[in-house]
Amino acid sequence: MVNFYLRSVNNFQEILKRKTFSKEELIVLIRSKGEERIQLLKRSQEVKNREVGNKVYFRGLIEFSNICSKDCLYCGIRKGNEKVLRYHAKDEEILDACRFAWKNGFASVVLQSGELSTPAFVDRVDKLLKKIKQLSNNELGITLSCGEQTLETYKRWFESGAHRYLLRIESSNRELYYKIHPKNDDHSFEKRIEALGFLKEAGYQVGTGVMIGLPFQTYEDLANDLLFMKKLDIDMCGMGPYLEHEDTPLYQYRNMLMSKQERFNLALNMVAVLRLLMPDINIAAATALQAIDPAGREKALAVGANVIMPNLTPCEYREEYQLYENKPCLDEDAELCRNCLEARIELAGAEIGYNEWGDSRHFIKRMQTGK
């Protein structure tokens, strides 16, 4: 028994030292518990500090509209949820939040919304991008998270000043994808993959991610998700635990789920393993972690994440942007959020990269090698 234990620990140590991993090895890492898990988390922190440094970059998150044309089965703001009051934040409100970010040294903002692709929406985003660049002396970096669009739209937004884009694949397993999305043309797995290709073609730093602990999801799916990100050669990742929402169809499977704490631990393991697999990308500490553990995002920063997205959405709208239940910071204003973040990040031993874009090192290398 003791020998067996030693052999498995040694083997685990060997895996941790690798630079490339088989699917089976990834599964061993993702599933690790106890002493082995501590080793994994320690290793990912070392790799992070070596490859991208100890700095955490802020991206001020502005959820500027919850109007959505899609019906994803997990999402609280899906079109079919009639309980949600729909809003479009006013231009001035969005620009004020951007000004706040700029003046407070955040260096970047993320504009996120439900998915629309009407000409009016595309134009509106385009105009906002130009105004944000103008008000900040061209200094604010802008990430968009506005769903699937045409190549032409992505190119237009890029020209107008967006330089990063987040589009989560949600799950790289086609079968699972269709268990969590309606099976129709509006929710096509192939189109989502195509959109990720368009984003690269348009020149963005591309981010994707998945939900962790979904009903029907296996450890093999999660290992494949990581391999998918590696193959796509992404620059950024945001991934977090799946949280059931009462007003969504996927809620019916809540009895199949792991406990929230298990999903939380699994999400941290995924962040740590991704850091080993793709050492120089930017990894965001997902807000969904904080919905389970108040210090959830800081815990992710300690094991591999290096980006955090403080919520700058005007307070009056936050109640209506509940993708999942218990979404944190619903009643805090931006200033408060910033202060509590600062204190916690410093306690977590990291340094804040104020006034720095903190671009993905992976992207910078990709540009240098012309890939």
Q: Given candidates 29, 41, 61, 75, which one binds ligand FES under the rule CB under 6 A?
A: 75
H-type alpha helices, the chain: 2-17, 23-30, 34-51, 91-103, 119-135, 151-159, 174-180, 189-202, 219-232, 260-277, 287-292, 296-302, 315-318, 334-347, 361-369
Q: Given candidates 48, 70, 124, 327, which one binds ligand FES under the rule CB under 6 A?
A: 70
Structure tokens at 66: 């919850």
Q: Is residue 211 part of the contact set for ligand 5AD (CB under 6 A)?
A: yes
* 52 or 300: CB nearest ligand 5AD: 300
Stretch that binds ligand 5AD, among 39-47, 128-136, 153-161, 242-250 (CB under 6 A): 242-250
H-type alpha helices, 54-144: 91-103, 119-135
Compute the chain's Rg from CA coordinates.
20
- Phi and psi at 63, nearest 5°, equal -90, 85
51 pairs with which residues across the strands?
none
Compute how many other C-beta atoms are within 10 angstroms of the C-beta atom of residue 275: 27
List the x/- string, 151-180, binding to ligand 5AD by CB under 6 A. -----------------x-x----------
Structure tokens at 345: 């990040």
Q: Which does 245 bind (CB under 5 to 8 A by kind): ligand 5AD, ligand FES, none?
A: ligand 5AD
Find tokens 């134009």 and name the residue: 123
Stretch that binds ligand 5AD, among 193-201, 236-244, 256-264, 296-304 (CB under 6 A): 236-244
The minimum distance between CB 193 and ligand 5AD, in angstroms, equals: 15
List the x/- string, 93-132, binding to ligand FES by CB under 6 A. ---------------------xx-----------------
The minimum distance between CB 271 and ligand 5AD, in angstroms, equals: 15
Structure tokens at 192: 């989502």
Torsion of CA 264, 268, 274, 279, to 10 degrees: 150
Query: Cβ(301)–Cβ(279) under 8 Å?
Result: no
Q: Is residue 72 part of the contact set for ligand FES (CB under 6 A)?
A: yes
CA dist list (Å): 100 to 9, 107, 118: 49, 10, 29
* 156 or 181: CB nearest ligand 5AD: 181
Query: Cβ(108)–Cβ(166) under 8 Å?
Result: no
Q: Which does 288 bind (CB under 5 to 8 A by kind): ligand FES, ligand 5AD, none?
A: ligand 5AD
Helix, strand, coil tally for the chain in percent (to 5): 50, 15, 35
Q: Is residue 58 part of the contact set for ligand 5AD (CB under 6 A)?
A: no
The minimum distance between CB 36 and ligand FES, in angstroms, equals: 36
Q: Is residue 324 part of the contact set for ligand 5AD (CB under 6 A)?
A: yes
For residue 228, how far is the Cα from the chain centroid? 15
Cβ-based burial of 170 (10 A; exposed 0-12, middle 13-18, buried ≥19): buried
Q: Is residue 192 part of the contact set for ligand FES (CB under 6 A)?
A: no
Q: Given candidates 12, 198, 204, 242, which one binds ligand 5AD under the rule CB under 6 A?
A: 242
Stretch that binds ligand FES, among 67-75, 102-110, 127-135, 197-205 (CB under 6 A): 67-75
Q: Given candidates 28, 97, 132, 243, which one binds ligand 5AD under the rule CB under 6 A?
A: 243
Q: Is residue 68 part of the contact set for ligand FES (CB under 6 A)?
A: yes
Q: Is residue 222 part of the contact set for ligand 5AD (CB under 6 A)?
A: no
Q: Which does 68 bind (CB under 5 to 8 A by kind): ligand 5AD, ligand FES, none?
A: ligand FES
Residue 328: DSSP 8-state: S
Positions in the binding site for ligand FES (CB under 6 A): 68, 70-72, 75, 77-78, 114-115, 147
